[in-house]
Amino acid sequence: LHRNKPPIAGSIEWVDEMKDRINEPLDAFTKLDYAAKETDDGKRVLAKHEELIQLLDKFAKSIFDDWSKNVGQAANFNLKQNLLTRNTDSQIITTNFDPQLIGVLREVKYMQQTKTGSSDQVPEEATKMYQENEKFVNYVTNLDYTTKSYNKIRLTILDVEKPLVEKQLEEIDKKLLRAEKELSWSTAGRV
């Protein structure tokens, strides 16, 4: 498994690399115009090679199929979550972008680079989500900046300053309430 790759795409790429490593010497063996490949040992080597390739293909397919079955449901569920969440005790807000969505985006990116996970095989929900990757990056970046600024004000304001900015904070809270209660990641671009 590749260190910096997501688990599914990394496993599939590992399978592709293993098949390449196995096929290379066998290709040289089969190109020989030599009686060795017609012997019992030669035939056994070819049969074992085919068996190993089939096992690797089956492994890659099972990993990909398991991921494909669950990715759409996970993505749809998380895309329906609100943009922001608020801690009711401290009034601190956070961007509500689930790490599972980041995982889906990374998997699709690297999956499209593997032989097994070509873009026509990646589930439609995941592909659609990946096509909006840049939009999500922009939204998360902007929301993170906004939440950090808002939280900094909430955390650093002195008691004597509160009456001076209380009305502005209430106005900001009214606007943020929409992102906490109404807006989700799937509706964010249509507002």
pLDDT of 115 reads: 67
Domain hosting residue 156, numbered range: 7-190
Sign of CA dihedral 157, 160, 164, 167: positive
Give the position of tokens 């990394």: 10
* Gap between the Cα atoms of 45 and 60, Å rounded: 22
**Torsion-angle region of 91 (φ positive above 0: left; ψ -120 to 50: alpha; else: beta):** left
- For residue 101, what are its two tokens? 């969505």
Mean pLDDT of 16-38: 83
36 in a structural domain: yes
Q: Indicate the burial class of 65 (C-beta count within 10 angstroms; 0-12, 13-18, 19 or more).
A: exposed
99 in a structural domain: yes
Q: Full-prediction pTM beyond 0.85?
A: no
Query: Is 44's pLDDT higher than 80?
Result: yes
2 in a structural domain: no
57 in a structural domain: yes
* Gap between the Cα atoms of 93 and 102, Å rounded: 20
1 in a structural domain: no
58 in a structural domain: yes
- For residue 85, what are its two tokens? 């969440």
Confidence of residue 191 (pLDDT cuts 50, 70, 90): very low
Question: What is the identity of the amino acid at 82?
Answer: N
Mean pLDDT of 171-176: 92
pLDDT of 95 reads: 95
Sequence-ordered list of residues with C-beta below 8 angstroms from that of 153, at least 6 positions apart, any chain: 165, 169
**Quick one: what percent of the chain has pLDDT higher than 70?**
94
184 in a structural domain: yes
Q: What is the pLDDT of residues 139-152, one digit of tens each?
A: 999 999 999 999 99
Mean pLDDT score of the chain, rounded to an integer?
87
Give the count of domains, the chain.
Answer: 1
pLDDT of 145 reads: 96
Strands 84-86 and 93-95: antiparallel
pLDDT of 47 reads: 92
Least confident of 12-21, 50-59, 98-107, 109-118: 109-118
pLDDT of 189 reads: 60
Q: Indicate the burial class of 99 (C-beta count within 10 angstroms; 0-12, 13-18, 19 or more).
A: exposed
Confidence of residue 54 (pLDDT cuts 50, 70, 90): very high
